[in-house]
């Protein structure tokens, strides 16, 4: 299960890095909930909602210097046969491969129609 989760998020990250938000939105269950870094909940009822939301996020991050992501420090908890909780650290890289931002985030995935889908993500807020 651990290698499947890592493969899923390698594909997830590389799809985001390709800036193809149509394809990226296919990783999410309908509905999908994101608990953002400021503690606010964003509910995306459809993949179209996710595409619109993450296009805005992408554009903001590109202005901040984002070029690609790396991940590290995975923790994976099986929640039965059809659900897993995956936590790891995102590292936002610029064109020179310098980390410009990093954070921990957890994702709850469920197997739906024999495919893993993200139903919720939570940014870890450390003050």
Interval 47-71 mean pLDDT: 92
Tell me the C-alpha distance between 29 and 126, whole Å.
27
List the structure tokens of 78. 């099986």
In the beta sheet, which residues pair with residue 99?
93
Q: Which of 68, 74, 94, 101 is nearest to 6 (CA)?
A: 74
How big is the chain, counted in residues?
A: 127
Tell me the C-alpha distance between 84 and 121, whole Å.
12
Question: 79 pLDDT exceeds 70?
Answer: yes
Interval 79-90 mean pLDDT: 92
pLDDT at 80: 85
Q: What is the CATH number of domain 2-123?
A: 3.10.450.50
The distance of Cα 28 from the centroid of its chain, to the nearest Å, equals 9
Query: What is the domain partition of the chain in residue ranges?
Result: 2-123
Question: 127 pLDDT exceeds 60?
Answer: no
pLDDT at 119: 96
* Confidence at 66, pLDDT banded by 50, 70, 90: very high
Please state the φ and ψ torsions of residue 33, each to the nearest 5 degrees.
-120, 130
Cα separations (Å) of 13 from 34, 66, 79, 81? 16, 13, 23, 24
Reported as a single tens digit per residue, the pLDDT across 94-103 is 999 999 999 9
């Amino acid at each position: 299960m651990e290698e499947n989760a890592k493969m899923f998020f390698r594909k997830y990250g590389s799809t985001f890095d390709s800036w193809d938000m149509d394809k990226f939105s296919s990783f999410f269950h309908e509905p999908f909930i994101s608990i953002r870094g400021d503690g606010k909940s964003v509910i995306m009822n459809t993949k179209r909602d996710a595409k619109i939301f993450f296009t805005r996020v992408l554009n903001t991050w590109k202005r901040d210097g984002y070029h690609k992501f790396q991940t590290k420090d995975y923790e994976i908890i099986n929640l039965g046969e059809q659900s897993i909780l995956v936590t790891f650290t995102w590292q936002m890289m610029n064109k020179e491969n310098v980390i410009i931002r990093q954070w921990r985030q957890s994702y709850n995935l469920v197997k739906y129609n024999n495919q893993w889908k993200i139903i919720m993500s939570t940014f870890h807020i450390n003050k």
